[in-house]
Structure 1
Amino acid sequence: MTHHNPATVRVGARRRTPWLGSSILMLGAIYCLLPIAWVVAASTKNGSDLFTTFTFAPGTGFVENLTDLSAGGLYWRWLLNTALYAGVGGLLSALVSGISGYTLAKYRFAGRNAIFNVLLAGVLVPGITLAIPQYLLLAKIGLTDTYLSVLLPQIISPYGIYLARIYAAAAVPDTVVEAARTDGAGEFRIFSRIGLPMMVPGLVTVFLFQFVAIWNNFLLPFIMLSSDSKFPVTVGLFTLLNQGSTVPALYSQVIIGSLLSIVPLIALFLTLQRYWRTDLISGAVKG
């Protein structure tokens, strides 16, 4: 009978585990990146190649597809609209979340826990269930088919307020706030000069979450807007996709439009990731 040393078995298990985890992560990465790779390849194919071949080999129709997409400038208007909705909405949402989260974390008042519990419940409510009530409310005051009809519902983010509250409680020491009050600083000054700078990494995360959510949002602008000049890129590409059933050449424009629409998201993540690195380093030093 062969006897195995328990220590040797444990070492072997530790050696195998990283390979297993890496393999699972690699499969997950391939699963997520494969559709993007196909979109990149398909954006270079003209209409005939797109429907006759299914390969990842690049074609020669990228410039032609881009020229057709840019004709009239409507696509770039959609892209600017999306940047407006996501940029302004994300900034306002991060600001409102920061103020609300800081207030819930640093002040004691009646009903604070009840408000926080309602926010937690709001995180569980799907946005699709609120779209129709929001449309009816905005229609009552004549704001449908306006930029505000898409911006206003996006400013309040229960999940953003929840994250800001958790981050404010951890990143802004009570002793620092009390010392500022002792020195005679007002509450707004304490928040703007002390609390807000300490919360920047957390608020960047809130901004990114909300920016991506608004950028990819389809249902709300689809319900609120009727003028194609105000469409975001998601609704605009959907209209092109519907027209593609009668004009198949438009499918190539939809594909290259989808590819271009993710470039700003990638650039934003690469630009703002340094805030996360700073937060991780500072957390390690504090620990």
Structure 2
Amino acid sequence: MDLAKGKDIVFIGACRIGKSALFYVPLMAARLRFGQGLAILVVPTKALSKDQAKAANKRGLCTITINSDTLRDASCQMPQRKPFDEVAEGLWELIIVSPEMLKHPELNKKMQTKVFRDHIRFFGVDKFHLVQDHGEDFRSAYQEISVWRSCLPPDVCWIITTAMPPTGASPYTMLNSLRFKEPEYIFRKLPVDRPHINSSTMYDIAWAIPMSAKKPKDIPKCIIFCHTIEFGYPSWSERKRRLPGHLNSCLSQY
């Protein structure tokens, strides 16, 4: 309802609680209401873009990921595909890109076409906590996402989500950097604890360790309680195995 009223959405919640529905459902509603809707979704990694595209296509949304791999694959197809032209022609409902790809001159050119601007309804950012500076290796393109406020039509709604509450900076400071203005947005924050880790979810470390982590101090404190040693030790050792060596010191057993 808030999106229908033109309000932006800010949502913080634990992994695997359905945050992605905030990107999919509005597009489905736009299809019913307008005949077609279009959204851009910014994600940090190719793996995540692949997962998001798979989930969106499964729900009947025409989705494309545009990155160096998909552009190369498209150029090798016969006949050769041109993803940027497909964007301009309105063939896709959801376009998933990295913040760096947003700066691609060809994509920028196509996003100024009448078809694109007539259909664009939503602009999404997954893992929006990455707009916060995370050190020397920080991907500065995240801080430049806000320029799209002035590039897109003014009625485009922004939807940003994360499972990682910002560390060291107020969420409102980050929202200001993305040009979110009260009372034009809705802010919802749910607990990010994971109270029911089991054998099928213990291998997932994304909810506890930010993908942007470069050093142990980048990882917020997290306490995992296990009912038994039989479950606790393999849970700890699996997380330790999945971490890069320079981050292993952040894990301790008690």
Does TM, scored on the shorter chain, surpass 0.5?
A: no
Greater fraction of residues in strand: 2
Greater fraction of residues in helix: 1
Give me the TM-score of the superposition, normalised by structure 2: 0.20
